[in-house]
A and B are shown apart, each in its own frame.
Chain A
């Protein structure tokens, strides 16, 4: 009997509270998708990059906990709405002689059924969505989707079930507390009770609104002048004034505007504008706190999404870089080492029995030490400021002999270069070096390198690195072979190009080799360690922090926007049921269906627009203030806006339809 009642209630809930169910399902779907990412990564063959996977795991665990708090709050909030709406029904149960215990059991059963259904629906949706996420992940990390597999992450399912199980348990607990507090008379009269209309002093409202705007202006102007360079005190003032301003803004906004609009009789006394305005005024006044919170959440959402897409743009730019080589490895020569042949990379690889395949083309090279720092070498050609800059920055620098360099060029498919006895050749990506070189060619002075005078052959430096780049700028001098005879060896290295027909096998071999080095597998019998990377590892490493930022942005952004839109929708829907009597009265005095629908549309639209509009202003100011840190492009703004518009707009429209249905079905 009770289970039948509970099941029927659930069926009805589906119809009436589809937004509640939709919210649960979406929340579970997003939660599952992000937690299943670890498994997706494995699928995408990014297991070589262990740092990244580890970071991702920590990140998802941390985020899961934070997000489950947000979602838990949302679900309890939504549930409370439903219970409030069902007061009368609960009252009837009690007046029929049902004990509160039994009612509790019905509610528990309901929560279980809805919880179970939404969990199943959410996870099923999540499994589909996560496949899409895998494609996005691959896209972000520029990985290739060669062996795409349909993956179901059992770990993520378990995690989702546990997190939401706990949330549902809390919901049940809250319901028990709520029910035990209700009195029968209040339950039965719940529908009749009108909301108390609070009349606020118009003067105070206007004053508070001006204070709110002033606070926001101060906060904006501080942030706009200082940006992120603001010190801690300034930043806390920005945050405090911004938050307080937002709160006061929503507290006074509708009263302020109704004061002004009431003065404009032609607008106020048109159609049922006065009804719409009073409705909104009423709602915003009661819900100003949640409106302010939602506005701030939306602000975070838009900012996160914006930054996420922005970072994504940077990653895309990185991915367009091409390297001449598939692998680069090197070993630093240590002066104290007993066996010099071990300090040479060729000898080292031989010692650990590593062999190149026939299909792999490779070239060894040696680097020699400079006896002065770059800023000293170019001292006559640099300004003081540039020198300071070079001193502070880090730049790889060494000397390479001509034959080594030409074999590297040959490997990369380029023509060899020629050098006269007293010539040298410069390779660098530093703007300062380029400037200094131009300056050098203006004069007649020879260039002194390790005590020998040279003339520099090239007019501007070659920007192509001699290996897969490490972090930082580089500066290499190419000198005739005999010049290096007495120089001190700095390091030896090699470059490899895979066979184009079958790169995977080689990629696996070399990435495994470098992982072995990182784990110090050979350190027992060889004191030195080879460093290096494949091109793919290089890209992954470079993109990992960015990718995490993208995920963080997307994940939090999605959760926040779903949360805020859902809360707004629930408030509107519950308000619609509370205002049914008002709509009935309107119909009775002859207000047309068309006017009522347009009133509903306007109300819902303005209610959704208010928090978003302030959030957009916040975001615009924030982004503008830190614009130099971002490379803003039009596409970024468009993508972020579109995503927000689709989700938020979808919720808005669903709410409008829901309210319209509630009002239409009332008679």
Chain B
């Protein structure tokens, strides 16, 4: 199986001498093509920092991150921008759709900055829209859409460039349960049918139960790892709940 992401003994420190906070403290793992990885952990555990480091938004202090056989810690600012544009797709909690553009144009933007041709753009958007079931709303503006629809448009924007890796930061954080379910179904479908590689940060156990594998992080370290294997989602969900209880005993982080 092709290896997409390797995280090798990375550390991330904040602050200066005498007052150092280790946001990430020696984390290593790797992700293969077609995997759907979940990252869970309580607030302040370093999961968003980890995602930021993988997404090249933030730099690490020591260690090595390799995506698609490229060492991203050694890339210069310009190649970083290019790398982010071509190899990564992002989905955010607050959608980050541009309010004055239609859904179609929002998705198109991800392609126009890659300098794709107009015809190709049109074809790709129609394809991805069909997959995510958003053909009917393409000409609408974000303010005319529901939260779930917005997130699926954002998802389409992340997918349409066919990136090596899709990074989702709390994608269901702002959605109600029905919309969440619809979105996660889409994720599952994309993952299984298109072999898309997805890394999703969440602290919601139900959301996490859609993944193949979950890394639990606490205080900047990998605390536990759960692999779904052949479990049903129900079984996997129960296992997650157990670990979460163990992780902090903090009920507020579970729900």
CB interface residues, A 560-617, toward B, < 8 Å = 582, 584-586, 588-593, 595
Q: Which residues of B contact A275 (CB under 8 A)?
A: 98, 101, 109
Q: Which of A270, A589, A592 contacts B110 (CB 8 A)?
A: A589
Stretch at the interface among A139-147, A190-198, A498-506, A622-630: A190-198
B121 interface residue per 8 A CB criterion: yes
Q: Which residues of A contact B110 (CB under 8 A)?
A: 589-590
CB interface residues, A 163-204, toward B, < 8 Å = 194-197, 199
Q: How far is the CB of A578 from chain B (nearest CB, A)?
A: 11
- Of chain A, the residue at the smallest CB distance from B104 is A274
A271 close to B115 (CB less than 8 A): yes
Interface centre among A196, A270, A282 (most CB of B within 10 A): A270
Q: When A196-B143, A271-B113, A274-B105 are in contact, do A585 and B85 touch as well, CB less than 8 Å?
A: no
B96 close to A585 (CB less than 8 A): yes
Q: Which of B90, B100, B121 contacts A279 (CB 8 A)?
A: B100
A266 interface residue per 8 A CB criterion: yes
- Of chain B, the residue at the smallest CB distance from A595 is B113
B81 close to A593 (CB less than 8 A): yes
Q: How far is the CA of A273 from the CA of B115 in the complex (A)?
A: 11
Interface flags, B101-121, vs A, CB<8A=1, else 0: 100010011111101111101
Q: How far is the CA of A592 from the CA of B116 in the complex (A)?
A: 16
Q: Which of A266, A582, A590 contacts B84 (CB 8 A)?
A: A590
Q: How far is the CB of B72 from chain A (nearest CB, A)?
A: 14
CB interface residues, A 190-231, toward B, < 8 Å = 194-197, 199
Q: Which residues of A contact B82 (CB under 8 A)?
A: 592
B23 interface residue per 8 A CB criterion: no
- Of chain A, the residue at the smallest CB distance from B140 is A199
A272 close to B113 (CB less than 8 A): yes
A197 close to B99 (CB less than 8 A): yes
Interface centre among B96, B97, B100 (most CB of A within 10 A): B100
Q: When A266-B118, A588-B96 are in contact, do A274 and B143 touch as well, CB less than 8 Å?
A: no
Q: When A197-B143, A270-B112, A273-B112 are in contact, do A585 and B101 touch as well, CB less than 8 Å?
A: no
Q: Which residues of A contact B65 (CB under 8 A)?
A: none
Q: Which residues of B contact A282 (CB under 8 A)?
A: 100
Q: Which residues of A contact B119 (CB under 8 A)?
A: 265
- Of chain B, the residue at the smallest CB distance from A592 is B81
- Of chain B, the residue at the smallest CB distance from A281 is B100
Q: How far is the CB of A604 from chain B (nearest CB, A)?
A: 17
Chain B interface residue bracket vs A: 20 to 34
Q: How far is the CA of A244 from the CA of B226 in the complex (A)?
A: 70
Q: Which residues of A contact B237 (CB under 8 A)?
A: none
- Looking at chain A's contact residues, is the secondary structure mostly helix, strand, loop, or mixed? helix
Q: Which residues of A contact B96 (CB under 8 A)?
A: 584-585, 588-589
Q: When A197-B141, A265-B118 are in contact, do A272 and B112 touch as well, CB less than 8 Å?
A: yes
Q: Which residues of B contact A463 (CB under 8 A)?
A: none
CB interface residues, A 74-90, toward B, < 8 Å = none
Q: When A272-B109, A593-B81, A595-B113 are in contact, do A588 and B90 touch as well, CB less than 8 Å?
A: yes
Q: How many A-B residue pairs have CB under 8 A?
A: 82
Q: How far is the CA of A590 from the CA of B112 in the complex (A)?
A: 11
CB interface residues, A 630-655, toward B, < 8 Å = none
Interface flags, B69-105, vs A, CB<8A=1, else 0: 0000000001001101110101010001111110001
Q: Which of B84, B92, B121 contacts A269 (CB 8 A)?
A: B121
- Of chain B, the residue at the smallest CB distance from A271 is B112
Q: How far is the CA of A488 from the CA of B21 in the complex (A)?
A: 113
A521 interface residue per 8 A CB criterion: no
CB interface residues, A 266-304, toward B, < 8 Å = 266, 268-275, 278-279, 281-282
B101 close to A278 (CB less than 8 A): yes
CB interface residues, A 225-271, toward B, < 8 Å = 265-266, 268-271
Q: When A196-B143, A269-B118, A588-B90 are in contact, do A274 and B109 touch as well, CB less than 8 Å?
A: yes
Q: Which residues of A contact B78 (CB under 8 A)?
A: 592
A590 close to B85 (CB less than 8 A): yes
Q: When A265-B118, A582-B98, A592-B81 are in contact, do A278 and B105 touch as well, CB less than 8 Å?
A: yes
Q: Which residues of B contact A591 (CB under 8 A)?
A: 85, 109, 113
Interface centre among A195, A270, A272, A585 (most CB of B within 10 A): A585
Q: Which residues of A contact B88 (CB under 8 A)?
A: 590
A194 close to B112 (CB less than 8 A): no
Q: Which residues of B contact A585 (CB under 8 A)?
A: 96-98
Q: Which residues of A contact B86 (CB under 8 A)?
A: 590
Q: How far is the CB of A407 from chain B (nearest CB, A)?
A: 85
- Of chain A, the residue at the smallest CB distance from B111 is A269
- Of chain A, the residue at the smallest CB distance from B100 is A278
Q: How far is the CB of A603 from chain B (nearest CB, A)?
A: 12
Q: Which of A197, A273, A588, A592 contacts B92 (CB 8 A)?
A: A588
Q: How far is the CA of A586 from the CA of B81 in the complex (A)?
A: 12
Q: Which of A266, A274, A586 contacts B108 (CB 8 A)?
A: A274
B157 close to A589 (CB less than 8 A): yes
Q: Which residues of A contact B157 (CB under 8 A)?
A: 589
Q: Which residues of B contact A590 (CB under 8 A)?
A: 81, 84-86, 88, 90, 110, 113
- Of chain B, the residue at the smallest CB distance from A270 is B112
Q: How far is the CB of A163 from chain B (nearest CB, A)?
A: 41
CB interface residues, B 117-140, toward A, < 8 Å = 117-119, 121-122
Q: Which residues of B contact A270 (CB under 8 A)?
A: 112, 115
Q: Which residues of A contact B116 (CB under 8 A)?
A: 269
- Of chain B, the residue at the smallest CB distance from A593 is B81
- Of chain B, the residue at the smallest CB distance from A199 is B141
Q: Which residues of B contact A194 (CB under 8 A)?
A: 99, 143
Q: How far is the CA of A220 from the CA of B115 in the complex (A)?
A: 43
- Of chain A, the residue at the smallest CB distance from B110 is A589
Q: How far is the CA of A585 from the CA of B113 in the complex (A)?
A: 13
Q: Which residues of B contact A582 (CB under 8 A)?
A: 98-100
A269 close to B100 (CB less than 8 A): no
Q: Which residues of A contact B101 (CB under 8 A)?
A: 274-275, 278
- Of chain A, the residue at the smallest CB distance from B163 is A590
Q: Which residues of A contact B118 (CB under 8 A)?
A: 265-266, 268-269
B109 close to A589 (CB less than 8 A): yes
Q: How far is the CA of A199 from the CA of B96 in the complex (A)?
A: 21
Q: How far is the CA of A273 from the CA of B82 in the complex (A)?
A: 19
CB interface residues, A 380-419, toward B, < 8 Å = none
Q: How far is the CA of A24 from the CA of B84 in the complex (A)?
A: 44
Q: How far is the CB of A77 from chain B (nearest CB, A)?
A: 24
Q: How far is the CB of B167 from chain A (nearest CB, A)?
A: 10
Q: Which residues of B contact A593 (CB under 8 A)?
A: 81
- Of chain A, the residue at the smallest CB distance from B57 is A588
Q: How far is the CB of A113 from chain B (nearest CB, A)?
A: 36
Interface centre among A268, A270, A589 (most CB of B within 10 A): A589
Q: How far is the CB of A592 from chain B (nearest CB, A)?
A: 4
Interface centre among B90, B96, B109, B119 (most CB of A within 10 A): B109
Q: How far is the CB of B34 from chain A (nearest CB, A)?
A: 23
Task: List 9 A-B residue pairs with CB atoms under 8 Å apart, sorted by A's residue number.
Answer: A194-B99, A196-B143, A197-B143, A199-B141, A266-B117, A269-B121, A273-B112, A589-B113, A595-B113
Q: Lowest 6 CB-CB distances: which A-B pairs, in order? A: A590-B85, A265-B118, A585-B96, A592-B81, A590-B84, A278-B100
Please give the residue numbers on chain A whose beta carbons come within 8 Å of chain B beta carbons, in ascending order. 194-197, 199, 265-266, 268-275, 278-279, 281-282, 582, 584-586, 588-593, 595
Q: A197-B100, A270-B112, A582-B99 are in contact. List 10 more A-B contacts (CB 8 A).
A: A194-B143, A195-B99, A197-B99, A274-B109, A274-B112, A588-B92, A590-B85, A590-B86, A591-B109, A592-B78
